[in-house]
């Protein structure tokens, strides 16, 4: 086997957890061991580096986790990491452990931390996109998105049963603070009449007209999907606005954190396995400062800078199509 200057790597999960992170950890650990690398897990994101929370990882340490949601390495938000002096401490601690490079599984916030560790202290770092929101530029999909969409869809199918039985209007709030990727896919797959995504402001009047038009064609129950936007509970404001405009009494269902948990779907396990393994191969061959993403069916390396300097577009077509098909 060819030689690499990398001998010991660390794997961490950071930011919001997402189903499939464990499958990515498993893939990274086993790919690393297949290349005779030593692997440690950092427990609890960047705080784990500052608090010396390391755990050696062997083949069997990652047995029986491919199907489990959450992350065995725990995750955290670490305020200190925004300050350069703490990033220096972290870099010194990584070096003291003999760690040649890190794999950071998380969202774009976590990648900023990894990017700075590289820029300021030459710590080799590769990112793996793990967030249910799917809002990371440079990759078609992020780990956890497919599972979150399927979990939300399952809930919506159930709500549709009761909506249809009582001729009711339901507003279902899905996750997505700044992005409506979950809302768009769930809305189209769940046959929603209207989708409110943070990127595309849909006027309430238009939503009311859409529901009235559906009713005039004999449709007696409707489902509206909204992303949480900047404020969880936004669906209640929407229900009130619709009531004021139309007199319709909409029921609200907020799905919340159930969308974060659960066993990852096959698609997420495959994605996580490919990205987790790809990250090790990248580190091993001397790459740094980039995320391993998915472009069509191919793995791609995307420099960290590209990720922050671009915004991933939420395909408007899905939202428009859902509206046409719900008539
Ligand atoms: P996500 O990775 O899911 O986007 P966050 O944005 O909360 O989640 O970021 C996770 C952690 O990454 C933060 O708590 C912090 O430790 C680190 N981080 C985020 N942004 C930065 C930044 N600009 N500089 C340094 N570290 C950061």
Is 326 in contact with 191 (CB distance < 8 Å)? yes
pLDDT of 1: 54
Task: Give the pLDDT of the chain (327 residues) as one tens digit per residue.
Answer: 567 899 999 999 999 999 999 999 999 999 999 999 999 999 999 999 999 999 999 999 999 999 999 999 999 999 999 999 999 999 999 999 999 999 999 999 999 999 999 999 999 999 999 999 999 999 999 999 999 999 999 999 999 999 989 889 999 999 998 899 999 999 999 999 999 999 888 889 998 998 888 888 888 889 999 999 877 778 999 999 999 999 999 999 999 999 999 999 999 999 999 999 999 999 999 999 999 999 999 999 999 999 999 999 987 899 999 989 987
Q: How far is CA 20 from CA 61, 132, 235, in A?
A: 16, 10, 28
320 catalytically annotated: no
Architecture of the domain delimited by 8-144+264-308: 3-Layer(aba) Sandwich (3.40)
Query: 133, 135, 146, 268: which one is catalytic?
Result: 133
Q: Is 14 in the pocket of ligand 1 (CB under 6 A)?
A: yes
Q: How far is the CA of 42 from the centre of ligand 1 (A)?
A: 16
pLDDT of 2: 65
Q: Let me know if 79 is exposed, middle or buried by CB neighbors in 10 A (0-12, 13-18, 19+).
A: exposed
Q: Is 113 in the pocket of ligand 1 (CB under 6 A)?
A: yes
Which regions of the chain carry the CATH code 3.40.50.460?
147-261
pLDDT of 210: 87
Which regions of the chain carry the CATH code 3.40.50.450?
8-144+264-308
Rama region for 310: left / alpha / beta (φ>0; ψ in -120 to 50; rest):
beta
Q: CATH number of the domain at 147-261, please? A: 3.40.50.460
pLDDT of 103: 98
Count of alpha carbons within 13 Å of 226, Cβ hemisphere only?
26
Cβ atoms within 10 A of the Cβ of 179, count?
Answer: 22
Q: Ligand 1: which residue has its CA nearest to atom 15?
A: 78
pLDDT of 27: 98
Q: Is 275 in the pocket of ligand 1 (CB under 6 A)?
A: no
Q: Is 134 in the pocket of ligand 1 (CB under 6 A)?
A: no
């Amino acid at each position: 086997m060819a030689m690499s200057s990398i001998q010991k790597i660390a794997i961490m999960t950071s930011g919001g957890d997402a189903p499939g992170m464990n499958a990515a950890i498993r893939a990274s650990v086993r790919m690393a061991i297949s290349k005779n690398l030593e692997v440690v897990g950092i427990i609890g994101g960047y705080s784990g580096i500052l608090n010396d929370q390391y755990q050696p990882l062997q083949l069997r340490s990652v047995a029986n986790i491919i199907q489990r949601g959450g992350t065995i390495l725990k995750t955290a938000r670490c305020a200190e990491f925004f300050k350069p002096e703490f990033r220096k401490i972290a870099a010194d601690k990584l070096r003291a452990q003999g760690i040649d490079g890190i794999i950071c599984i998380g969202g774009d916030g976590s990648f900023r931390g990894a990017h700075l560790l590289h820029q300021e202290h030459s710590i080799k770092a590769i990112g793996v996109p793990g967030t249910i929101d799917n809002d990371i530029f440079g990759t078609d999909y992020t780990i956890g998105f497919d599972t979150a969409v399927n979990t939300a869809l399952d809930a919506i199918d159930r709500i549709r049963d009761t909506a249809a039985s009582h001729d009711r209007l339901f507003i279902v709030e899905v996750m997505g603070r700044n992005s409506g990727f979950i809302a768009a896919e769930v809305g189209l797959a769940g046959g929603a009449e209207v989708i409110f995504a943070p990127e595309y402001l849909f006027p309430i009047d238009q939503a009311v007209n859409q529901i009235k038009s559906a009713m005039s064609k004999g449709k007696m129950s409707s489902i509206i999907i909204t992303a949480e936007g900047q404020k969880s509970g936004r669906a209640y404001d929407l229900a009130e606005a619709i009531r004021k405009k139309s007199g319709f009494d909409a029921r609200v269902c907020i799905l919340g954190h159930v969308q974060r948990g659960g066993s990852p779907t096959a698609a997420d396990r495959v994605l996580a396995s490919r990205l987790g393994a790809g990250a090790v191969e990248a580190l091993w061959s001397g790459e740094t400062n980039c995320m391993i993403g998915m472009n069509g069916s191919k793995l791609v390396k995307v420099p960290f800078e590209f990720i922050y300097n671009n915004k991933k577009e939420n395909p408007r077509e899905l939202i428009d199509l859902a509206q046409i098909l719900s008539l």
